[in-house]
Structure 1
Amino acid sequence: MTASAKVTLSPDGQRLTLDLDARPREFAALWLRERAPDAETLDPRTGQRLIEAAELPLDLAVEHAELDGEALALRFSDGHAVRFPVADLLAEDKPRESVAPERELWDAGLVEPPRADFAAALDDDAALLAMLEGLHRVGFVLVSGVPTDEDGMQALIERIGPLRRTNWGGIADVKSVANAYDLTMTQRGLEPHTDNPYRDPIPGYIWLHCLTNAADGGDNTLVDGYRAAEVLRERDPAAFDCLTRVSPGFRYRDETTWLESEGPLIELDSQGRVSRVRYNNRTERVDALPPEELARYYAARRAFYALITSDELTVHLKLEPGQMLIMDNYRLFHGRRAYELAGGVRHLRQGYVDRDSTASRRLVLRRELRRQQAESRLEETA
């Protein structure tokens, strides 16, 4: 803590300003009270709140505040006293960003995608964490050494979270079949798209495992949807705004299934950051909006499509047997070139894992490995 650090209260005590290094940060008294890090307010084991926050008085104030070492000592008008670690308060003061934190945007110039080894990720927590961190940061990871049997990726899925089952089952084939129930099961090329926007919730991560890929063509295309959205925001703000406001519907139907949902092609979080993209030409159904609004939407969609199909943003790769792509379905547009079976068989397998279980596994592993590293450093200095 610097000597110049100071804390001040507003005249009514309902605002507290913490000034460190000439950078003031303001906190509401009511927010501080309901977040008080003590056993009366938060359960020590779960971190869940024990008091009913909605019953706190709306005019609650901080009556006394002082910096004490690395903590901020507070006394509130309801009589509660608590010590806040200053580091915890600073962690809450996050800078505004255009996309969610810890992401790296990329385009066709991406030199080296995140890579992982299947056996290492299966057996070693540090390797698994590195794989999940790369997936979180870049939006996809290329995994090698996956067994080339039909359920070869299942063991690694089980290290992360349950397989998401759909009307197509668990792990499903991606190969050309007669009477295909979906265009992925044909030889045609596929435009850049996100999967299953007609579901609620939309599957979080796509696992695409290559068993054999000897057909002519069939290369995968990958586009960073966050990057595409940011480029659109920079170059055509009106189109960007339109695609964040208009929510087309998406629909999938067959003899046994009827799925419908809706959402904007570019979705923002509460801070205005890009948090999700959608694009699925095959299943999109736009409502009969007023003609002027439809005209704006169609022009904006066309501008976005031009970006996500451009050489500027597209990475190409062809999976080899034993390789697997794990892709963030909230971020990545993926597609493929058409292929011909004259050159050989193209057989991939695909499954889904939800976003919450994947994020949970990454964050728990990060916490545990940091704890182990801290304990190891203490042992070395003892």
Structure 2
Amino acid sequence: MTYVTPLANRRRLAIDHHGQRGEFAALWLRERSPDGETLDPRTGQRLVEAAELPLTLSIDSAEVTDGRLYLHFSDDHHTAFDLAALFDNQAIDPSKRLWNAADAPRPEADFAAALENDAALSDMLEALHRDGFVIVSGVPEEADGMQPLIDRIGPLRRTNWGGIADVKSVANAYDLTMTQRGLEPHTDNPYRDPIPGYIWLHCLTNAAEGGESTLADGLMAARLLRERDPGAYACLTRVTPSFRYRDADTDLESEGPLIELDSHGEPVRVRYSNRTERVPALPPEELEVYYAARQAFYRLITGEELTLQLKLEPGQMLIMDNYRLLHGRSAFQLAGGVRHLRQGYVDRDSTASRRRVLRQQLATSQAQGESA
């Protein structure tokens, strides 16, 4: 059953729909009206100037029929909402599956299938969105072997290091990634604006002793910190360090909290980069709280509870959500052989767009097939 109740001089509407309850402002409903007078049918872009709608706008009538909410506003506009879609606007994304080491998934995809088949590409992108990473096999073992699959999704993000770059030990390394040392869990490039959304790490050879990759789900770490130490969690969502990278030709700096919240107050992004973090000179008592909170978070992301270890084989590629996963590696010894990986970045907007469009296209195709 669905019940609608006008509130606040009919400038708000309370809706109870199959156990879900929401309150909606009349102005919000008016500017989001899903009709051809308000939204362009092809682009979904708004045709009315929302800032010119009267602030006193109210709802003259509201009726529910066959799962649709029919509204008449005080400016004499009529529209109808699909109730399920209306409540989807309020929902927090339930499709992300947080994990720890004991129950970590191993999402896999095949390079050739994702390259040639939309359903396989869609499955790969959905797994990446859900689990924060995916392991792709069958990638051509050549320098730019990942490029054709990147081209299926969106443009390669170019940085001061170029496009697809080497990850291997070199003399006079300009970044610690290019040494043999182990790397603590971190997110990449928090000193950039915008931060690269997805890391693509392609293995050409990995015969060196050591060099295992480590992954930790940063959103799970944030959730556990909130449960176990709310004060530390609050501190890491509040304090905003800066991050900086410099070399002879580059000077990059940005800022943001170690745990960033979305509009619902839920963790949506983590940052952690011991090598590039610069904490401002806060009052000493506040720094004491921050340092303790950071240590608590560090112990989570480096502990056995959350740390997943894997070693990429030649022809495998790891795609990681750089807003969610922290990654690192163990130290390696070149006496055992060569470790040569290639790395590129793809931004979040193009990746999310491709995933959503494929989902809609495949759903439409399936619906048409069932009705034929």
Q: TM-score, normalised by structure 1?
A: 0.95
Aligned residue among 204, 224, 233 for 1:231: 224
Q: 1:11 & 1:109 partners in 2: Cα distance?
A: 50
Greater alpha carbon shift after TM alignment, 58-67 vs 165-174 = 58-67
1:245-324 mapped onto 2 (5 Å cutoff): 245-324=238-317
Please tell me the residue identity of whatever aligns with 1:342.
A
Q: What does residue range 1-382 of structure 1 map to in structure 2 within 5 Å?
A: 2=1, 5-10=2-7, 12-21=9-18, 23-94=20-91, 100-379=93-372
Moved more, 18-27 or 224-233: 18-27
Q: Distance in 2 between matches of 1:183 and 1:117?
A: 31
Offset, 1:73: 1.7
User: Quick check: 1:177–1:186 contact (8 Å CA) kept in 2?
Assistant: yes
CA displacement 1:163-192 (0-9 Å, x = unmatched):
000000000000000000000000000000
| Contact 2:105/2:131, CA 8 A, preserved across alignment | no
State the AA in 2 paired with 1:326: I
- Distance, in Å, in 2 between the alignment partners of 1:227 and 1:6 is 37
Counterpart residue type for residue 378 of structure 1: S
Residue 309 of structure 2 aligns to a residue whose secondary structure is strand
Q: Write the distance in 2 (CA, Å) between the matches of 1:232 and 1:11.
A: 39
Q: 1:218 is matched by which residue type in structure 2?
A: G
Q: d(CA) in 2 for partners of 1:119 and 1:306? A: 39
Aligned alpha-carbon RMSD (Å): 1.2
Deviations 1:131-168 (A, max 9, x none): 00000001000010000000000000000000000000
Alignment length (residue pairs) = 372
Give the letter aligned to residue 140 of structure 2: P
Distance across 1 between alignment mates of 2:129 and 2:308 = 18
Structure 1 position 22, deviation (Å): 5.6
Secondary structure at the counterpart of residue 160 of structure 1: coil
1:239-275 C-alpha deviation (Å, 9 max, x unpaired): 1111111111111001100000111111111111100
Q: Partners in 1 of 2:176 and 2:231 — Cα distance?
A: 33
Amino acid at match of 1:174: V
Aligned to 2:41, the other structure's residue is in SS state coil
Is the CA contact 1:7–1:65 (under 8 Å) kept in the aligned structure 2? yes
* Superposed displacement of residue 11, structure 1: 6.1
Which consecutive residues of structure 2, in runs of 5 or more, have no partner in the other structure?
Answer: none
AA paired with 1:220? S
Q: Counterpart amino acid of 1:266?
A: I
* Cα distance, 1:16 vs structure 2: 1.6
State the shift of 1:365 in Å: 0.2
- Shift in Å, 1:23: 4.6
Counterpart residue identity of residue 304, structure 2 = D
The whole-number CA distance in structure 2 between the counterparts of 1:359 and 1:299 is 35
Equivalent-residue separation in structure 2 for 1:112 and 1:8 (angstroms):
44
Q: Which amino acid aligns with 1:63?
A: D
Q: Aligned equivalents of 1:254 and 1:19: distance in 2?
A: 58
CA contact (8 A) 1:110 1:315 kept: no
- CA change 1:61–1:312 in 2 (3 A) is same
The amino acid that maps onto 1:67 is: V
How far off its partner does 1:13 sit? 1.4
Distance 1:6 1:184 in 2: 58
- Report the secondary structure of 2:94's partner residue: coil
> 1:78: how far off?
0.6
Distance 1:22 1:118 in 2: 43
- Distance in 1 of aligned mates of 2:279 and 2:69: 53
Shift of 1:25: 2.8
Secondary structure (helix, strand or coil) at the match of 1:252 reads strand
Aligned amino acid, residue 166 of structure 1: T
Q: Are the aligned partners of 1:223 and 1:332 in contact in 2 as well (CA < 8 Å)? A: yes
SS at match of 2:71: strand
SS of match in other structure, 1:105: coil
**Distance between the aligned counterparts of 1:126 and 1:228, measured in 2?**
32
One-letter code aligned to 1:38: D
